[in-house]
Amino acid sequence: MRPAVVLVLRADERLVADALERAGEGGGVIVLDPSAERLEALERALPDPRVWYQIGDAGVVPLPDDSVDAAVGDPSPDVERVIR
Predicted local confidence at residue 75, as pLDDT: 85
Predicted local confidence at residue 1, as pLDDT: 65
Tens-digit pLDDT profile for residues 55-84 = 999 999 999 999 999 999 988 999 999 999
Task: Write down the H helix ranges in 1-84.
Answer: 13-23, 36-45, 77-82
Closest CA to 51 of 24, 18, 16, 25: 16
Tens-digit pLDDT profile for residues 19-68 = 999 999 999 999 999 999 999 999 999 999 999 999 999 999 999 999 99
Q: Give the chain's radius of gyration (CA, Å).
A: 12
